[in-house]
Structure 1
């Protein structure tokens, strides 16, 4: 069983797990053999990933750091909060419900401390903001755990992460969903979502000031080049910086109306160079510690010419996955597939990422 992007599904693959939309409705049940019609239906619904049992060389399950049921419930919770705020113009919320969600996330992350973030996604274009907030919460909590935060600090961080983009409910849809580049005037309006988020949380009166600051400051940069104020260094709350790098990574690895997603390894490079100009260096390092540059299922060519698939990445070795090798440097199938742990092999590394269409050829030649 392996996770695969919907765009890479092929007729004949067998679903090993049911596929649900972001509202929890089952679209296709487990055990179904995919047809062109099913694939097109999933693409139309905006579903992004599926679990399949297609006899591909990976042949093993990849565990998410958060159970999908928990993640889905959190997406729906954030959706309800943001849509209510959009309709009413104010934040009416029971904080304990958010703290309970963050607590459940924290328990699961602590129980899976050895797992790395493998870019699991349940979002469609229409649900981007809601699922993005949940991903940012997950990534922020993982970073906070790496940095040794207390349970109390993790609660504050997690709730702030879930609400960091709250202010977007006051941004006109024609700007939020514009398929092209924003004009200067439109971008000036977009930047106000940080101020709107701060005001909504502050005015609610039952969420802490730190969470309001996280909404306000998550686009401020350590070197002073961010917005809305352009503050720098220690003037930016540490939690705001944690949310900032989580926000950036998740945003650039998502399909948007105005551009395609960047591959995880490219996003990794962008964020790994962020230390002491985008966020404080120790925060950048703690964040990257939890990210798989080559998520499980990624087809790669190694610098020795071998070709295989990333199947796992140990925490702290983000660029050096365990690779299942099935082609030698002459592009001939190896007599017997084997695992090559790059993190234990000095001098060996991933040279480039291959297209998933090649993975289907590998399946046929296996």
Structure 2
């Protein structure tokens, strides 16, 4: 399958991956043949890209960090718990369900991620139709846990980091959803109101059974930045716990690569480039370098243009060099489709570079 922008869809194309709504329910199943009406409908969902099947890329598989069952169960559990918090009148008392619900969830997530031979940060939200707090929380947890595995944390350390990532934005359950989804520029008062979610999240989590205090501190500190420009306490590098530094990176990345009401999603390589502008000032340089080395900046199925003028589709990613994938070359330097596409491993052919992201002719025969 291949990943293409919504505007490139044509009647007769076949959907390669399911499209979900904010509750994890399927809006369109894989294998559906797209009609003019369905394409028009997809255009209203604010999707940036979708996966479609075609003859020359039918064997390209897009890996998943979690099984579909685990992902849907996690999103539904997060949604239920967060909705309960939204409806609760005050923060007084205990939230006993939080520790039980999320500790069990983290065990399942760690088991599945640890089961991958070559675990990478894989884009998760290309086939969902909007941003929401539940998916964002799960994505940040997945990305942070992958990085924690690569960094060498033991299982208990992964559990604490993962819970901190999973619950980092729990304070937003007490912030007006209208304000959180505000499409324009926020006033100073509105921004200060949103900033309160870090301290609110800490208050919710700090005394909860089965929620480590350090996980609660991740909710408090994930918007702190090395140069002291973050909030709520304007901490500087040495005073920010390393777990919060990881979550600062994964939180920013997921926000950038997810479609929002007020801005389009960036592709992975674009988001990494933006984040690197803050290396050493906003984000820990060592952690950001490891993140770059673990993120699939060219997702399987995406069309790339080579500096030779040829173009093709990423067919495989190397975990050790994700920026040098295997490309299935489909057109020559003049843009003419090849009668015999071939695989080009950029990790072995170092003289050839990816010049950009593009779209080659799709063969529907």
TM-score by length of 1: 0.90
Q: Paired residue for 2:158?
A: 154
Q: Paired residue for 1:85?
A: 85
For residues 31 and 19 of structure 1, the distance between their equivalents in structure 2, rounded to whole angstroms, comes to 11
Contact 2:60-2:301 at 8 Å conserved across structures:
no
Contact 1:302-1:351 at 8 Å conserved across structures:
yes
2:249 counterpart of 1:245: yes
2:237 counterpart of 1:233: yes
For residues 30 and 301 of structure 1, the distance between their equivalents in structure 2, rounded to whole angstroms, comes to 27
For residues 29 and 300 of structure 1, the distance between their equivalents in structure 2, rounded to whole angstroms, comes to 26
Secondary structure, counterpart of 2:347 in structure 1? helix
Deviation for aligned residue 1:67: 1.8
Cα RMSD (Å) of the superposition?
A: 2.4
Q: Paired residue for 1:198?
A: 202
Deviation for aligned residue 1:52: 3.6
2:301 counterpart of 1:297: yes
| Higher alpha-carbon deviation: 233-242 or 85-94 | 85-94
Residue 130 (structure 1) aligned to one of 129, 134, 158: 134
Deviation for aligned residue 1:289: 2.0
2:324 counterpart of 1:320: yes
Task: Write the deviation string for residues 7-38 of structure 1: whole angstroms up to 9, x where unpaired.
Answer: 65432123455544343434344543221223
Residue 174 (structure 1) aligned to one of 160, 174, 178: 178
Contact 2:303-2:311 at 8 Å conserved across structures:
yes
Task: Write the deviation string for residues 73-97 of structure 1: whole angstroms up to 9, x where unpaired.
Answer: 2111111111111110447224132
| Higher alpha-carbon deviation: 26-35 or 235-244 | 26-35
TM-score by length of 2: 0.90
Within a 5 Å distance, the mapping from 1:109-120 to structure 2 comes to 109-120=113-124
Task: Write the deviation string for residues 304-346 of structure 1: whole angstroms up to 9, x where unpaired.
Answer: 2211111222113132111110112122223411111111122
Residue 280 (structure 1) aligned to one of 265, 281, 284: 284
Q: Paired residue for 2:219?
A: 215
Contact 1:181-1:258 at 8 Å conserved across structures:
no
Number of aligned pairs? 360
Q: 1:291 to 1:79 in 2, by over 3 A?
A: same
Deviation for aligned residue 1:44: 4.6
Structure 2 gaps of 5+ residues are none
Task: Write the deviation string for residues 23-68 of structure 1: whole angstroms up to 9, x where unpaired.
Answer: 3434344543221223344455667775543325464221112223
Deviation for aligned residue 1:114: 1.3
Contact 1:275-1:283 at 8 Å conserved across structures:
no
Q: 1:7 to 1:244 in 2, by over 3 A?
A: farther
Higher RCO (C-alpha under 8 Å, 6+ residues apart):
2
Within a 5 Å distance, the mapping from 1:341-352 to structure 2 comes to 341-352=345-356
Q: Paired residue for 2:270?
A: 266
Q: 1:29 to 1:350 in 2, by over 3 A?
A: closer
Deviation for aligned residue 1:259: 1.3
Deviation for aligned residue 1:103: 1.7
For residues 272 and 297 of structure 1, the distance between their equivalents in structure 2, rounded to whole angstroms, comes to 25
For residues 318 and 25 of structure 1, the distance between their equivalents in structure 2, rounded to whole angstroms, comes to 31
Contact 2:2-2:302 at 8 Å conserved across structures:
no
Q: 1:48 to 1:348 in 2, by over 3 A?
A: closer
Q: 1:305 to 1:58 in 2, by over 3 A?
A: farther
